[in-house]
Chain A
Amino acid sequence: MERLVSFTLNGRPTSINVDDERMLLWVLREDLGLTGTKFGCGQSYCGACTVIVNNEAMRSCSVPIKEVAGKQVLTIEGLSHNGKLHPLQEAFLIHNGFQCGFCTPGMILSAYSLLQKTPHPTPAQIVEHMDDNLCRCGAHVRIIAAIEDAAKNMSGGAQ
Chain B
Amino acid sequence: MSVRHEPSHEILPTPGFDASRRRFMVLGSGLFLFFMVEPLEVLRAQESRHMPEYPTDFNAYLRIGEDGRVTGFTGKIEMGQGISTSLAQLLAEELDVSVEQVDMVMGDTDLCPWDMGTFGSLSVRAFGPVLRSAGAEARMILLQMAAENLHAPIERLQVHSGLITDSASKKNVSYADLVKGKHIERHLGKVPGKAFSAYSIIGKSTPRKDAFDKVTGKAKYAADMTLPGMLHACILRPPAHGATLKSVDTTAAESIPGVRIIKEGSLVAVLHEHRDVANQALQLVKAQYEPSSSRLDDQNIFDHLVKAAPEPRVVGQTGNLAEGEKLSATIFEQTYFDNYVAHAAMETHSALAHLEDGRMTVWAGTQLPFMLRDKIAHELGVPAEKVRVIPPYVGGGFGGKGTEGPFVEAAQLAKLSGKPVHMIWSREEEFFFDTFRPAAVIKIRAGVNAVGKLVLWDYIIYGGGDREARQFYAIPNERTLAAGGWMTKDPGLHPFAVGAWRAPSNNSNSFGRESLIDTIAAKLRIDPVEFRLQNLTNPRFRRVLETAAEKFGWRPAARPTGHGVGVAIGTDVDSFVATMAEVEVDKSTSRVRVKRILCVQDMGIVVNPEGARQQMEGCMTMGLGYSLSEQIHFRNGEILDRNFSTYEIPRFSWLPRIETVLIDNPNDPPSGGGEPAIITMGAVIANAVFDAVGVRVHQLPVTAARIKEARK
The 4 closest A-B pairs by CB, nearest first: A36-B217, A100-B80, A138-B621, A102-B395
- What A residues does B219 contact at CB under 8 A? 101
Asked if B215 is an interface residue, CB under 8 A from chain A, the answer is yes
Report the Cα distance A137→B81, complex, angstroms. Answer: 9
Asked if B151 is an interface residue, CB under 8 A from chain A, the answer is no
Asked if A93 is an interface residue, CB under 8 A from chain B, the answer is yes
Asked if A4 is an interface residue, CB under 8 A from chain B, the answer is no
Asked if A144 is an interface residue, CB under 8 A from chain B, the answer is yes
Cβ-closest chain B residue relative to A124 = B653
Q: Is the CB of A45 within 8 A of B645?
A: yes
Asked if A153 is an interface residue, CB under 8 A from chain B, the answer is no
Cβ-closest chain B residue relative to A41 = B427
Cβ-closest chain B residue relative to A23 = B276
Q: Is the CB of A102 within 8 A of B346?
A: yes
Q: Is the CB of A80 within 8 A of B396?
A: no
Report the Cα distance A129→B651, complex, angstroms. Answer: 11
Q: Is the CB of B393 within 8 A of A101?
A: yes
- Subset of 13 A-B contacts with CB under 8 Å: A26-B276, A31-B274, A39-B424, A43-B427, A93-B211, A96-B211, A96-B610, A100-B79, A100-B80, A100-B393, A101-B80, A136-B344, A140-B650
Q: Is the CB of B210 within 8 A of A134?
A: no
Q: Is the CB of B424 within 8 A of A80?
A: no
Q: Which of B191-199, B220-228, B433-441 contacts A (4 or more CB under 8 A)?
A: B220-228
Q: A93-B212, A137-B396, A138-B619 are in contact. List 17 more A-B contacts (CB 8 A).
A: A35-B217, A38-B346, A40-B347, A42-B643, A45-B645, A77-B217, A99-B81, A100-B393, A102-B395, A104-B214, A108-B215, A126-B652, A133-B652, A134-B651, A137-B622, A139-B617, A144-B655
A-contacting residues, B181-214, CB 8 Å: 207-208, 210-214
Report the Cα distance A41→B345, complex, angstroms. Answer: 11
* A-to-B contact residues, CB < 8 Å: 19, 22-23, 25-26, 29-31, 33-43, 45-46, 48, 75-77, 79-80, 85, 89-90, 92-93, 96-105, 108, 126-128, 130-144
Q: Is the CB of A43 within 8 A of B346?
A: no
Asked if B124 is an interface residue, CB under 8 A from chain A, the answer is no
| B217, B610, B619, B643: most-surrounded residue (chain A CB, <10 A) | B217
- What B residues does A37 contact at CB under 8 A? 217
State which of B80, B276, B653 has its C-beta within 8 Å of the C-beta of A137.
Answer: B80
Known: A45-B645, A134-B644, A134-B649. A40 touches B427 (CB 8 A): yes
Interface of A is mostly: loop
Asked if B216 is an interface residue, CB under 8 A from chain A, the answer is yes
Report the Cα distance A141→B82, complex, angstroms. Answer: 17
Report the Cα distance A29→B350, complex, angstroms. Answer: 15
Min Cβ gap A142→B in Å is: 7
Known: A40-B346, A100-B345. A131 touches B621 (CB 8 A): no
Known: A22-B276, A36-B218, A100-B393. A136 touches B398 (CB 8 A): yes
Report the Cα distance A132→B620, complex, angstroms. Answer: 19
Asked if B348 is an interface residue, CB under 8 A from chain A, the answer is yes
Asked if B98 is an interface residue, CB under 8 A from chain A, the answer is no
- What B residues does A40 contact at CB under 8 A? 346-348, 427
| B213, B224, B273, B395: most-surrounded residue (chain A CB, <10 A) | B395
Report the Cα distance A128→B218, complex, angstroms. Answer: 28
Q: Is the CB of A42 within 8 A of B215?
A: no
- What A residues does B426 contact at CB under 8 A? 42
- What A residues does B653 contact at CB under 8 A? 127-128, 131
Asked if B658 is an interface residue, CB under 8 A from chain A, the answer is yes
Report the Cα distance A119→B532, complex, angstroms. Answer: 49
Min Cβ gap B380→A in Å is: 27
Report the Cα distance A46→B645, complex, angstroms. Answer: 9
Q: Is the CB of A30 within 8 A of B274?
A: yes
* B-to-A contact residues, CB < 8 Å: 79-82, 207-208, 210-221, 223-224, 226, 273-277, 343-348, 393-398, 424, 426-427, 610, 614, 617-622, 643-645, 649-653, 655, 658
What's the count of A-B pairs with C-beta under 8 Å?
169
Report the Cα distance A75→B216, complex, angstroms. Answer: 10
Report the Cα distance A33→B620, complex, angstroms. Answer: 36
Min Cβ gap A20→B in Å is: 13
Min Cβ gap B117→A in Å is: 17
Report the Cα distance A38→B395, complex, angstroms. Answer: 10
Cβ-closest chain B residue relative to A128 = B653
Q: Is the CB of B211 within 8 A of A22?
A: no
- What B residues does A85 contact at CB under 8 A? 215-216
Report the Cα distance A135→B650, complex, angstroms. Answer: 8
Known: A35-B224, A99-B81, A101-B210. A75 touches B217 (CB 8 A): yes
Q: Is the CB of A35 within 8 A of B220?
A: yes
Q: Is the CB of B347 within 8 A of A100?
A: yes
Report the Cα distance A46→B652, complex, angstroms. Answer: 12
Report the Cα distance A48→B344, complex, angstroms. Answer: 13
Min Cβ gap A113→B in Å is: 15
- What B residues does A103 contact at CB under 8 A? 346
Known: A42-B426, A43-B645, A134-B651. A100 touches B216 (CB 8 A): no
Q: Is the CB of A140 within 8 A of B217?
A: no
- What B residues does A97 contact at CB under 8 A? 215
- What A residues does B610 contact at CB under 8 A? 96
Report the Cα distance A79→B218, complex, angstroms. Answer: 12
Q: Is the CB of B658 within 8 A of A141?
A: yes
Q: Is the CB of B644 within 8 A of A100?
A: no
Q: Is the CB of B618 within 8 A of A80?
A: no
- What A residues does B398 contact at CB under 8 A? 136
Min Cβ gap B366→A in Å is: 14
Known: A37-B217, A99-B618, A100-B80. A135 touches B277 (CB 8 A): no
- What B residues does A80 contact at CB under 8 A? 216
Q: Is the CB of B617 within 8 A of A135?
A: no
Report the Cα distance A16→B647, complex, angstroms. Answer: 37
- What A residues does B223 contact at CB under 8 A? 35, 38-39
Report the Cα distance A159→B580, complex, angstroms. Answer: 42
State which of A43, A48, A101, A132 has its C-beta within 8 Å of the C-beta of B214.
Answer: A101
Known: A39-B424, A42-B426, A102-B347. A141 touches B617 (CB 8 A): yes
- What A residues does B614 contact at CB under 8 A? 96, 99, 139, 142
Cβ-closest chain A residue relative to B393 = A101
Min Cβ gap B142→A in Å is: 33
Cβ-closest chain A residue relative to B279 = A42
Min Cβ gap A26→B in Å is: 4
Min Cβ gap A65→B in Å is: 10
Known: A43-B645, A96-B208, A136-B344. A104 touches B220 (CB 8 A): no
Report the Cα distance A96→B649, complex, angstroms. Answer: 21
Report the Cα distance A45→B647, complex, angstroms. Answer: 11
Min Cβ gap A155→B in Å is: 20
Known: A30-B274, A41-B643, A76-B216. A100 touches B344 (CB 8 A): no
Min Cβ gap A38→B in Å is: 7
Q: Is the CB of B645 within 8 A of A141?
A: no
State which of B213, B622, B650, B658 has its C-beta within 8 Å of the C-beta of A101.
Answer: B213
Cβ-closest chain B residue relative to A101 = B214
- What A residues does B218 contact at CB under 8 A? 36
Cβ-closest chain A residue relative to B425 = A39
Q: Is the CB of B346 within 8 A of A100?
A: yes
- What A residues does B79 contact at CB under 8 A? 100
- What A residues does B620 contact at CB under 8 A? 138
Q: Is the CB of A41 within 8 A of B215?
A: no
Q: Is the CB of A48 within 8 A of B346?
A: yes
- What B residues does A136 contact at CB under 8 A? 343-346, 396, 398, 622, 649
- What B residues does A79 contact at CB under 8 A? 216
Report the Cα distance A144→B273, complex, angstroms. Answer: 39
Cβ-closest chain B residue relative to A45 = B644
| B219, B221, B346, B622: most-surrounded residue (chain A CB, <10 A) | B346
Q: Is the CB of A99 within 8 A of B651?
A: no
Report the Cα distance A138→B655, complex, angstroms. Answer: 10
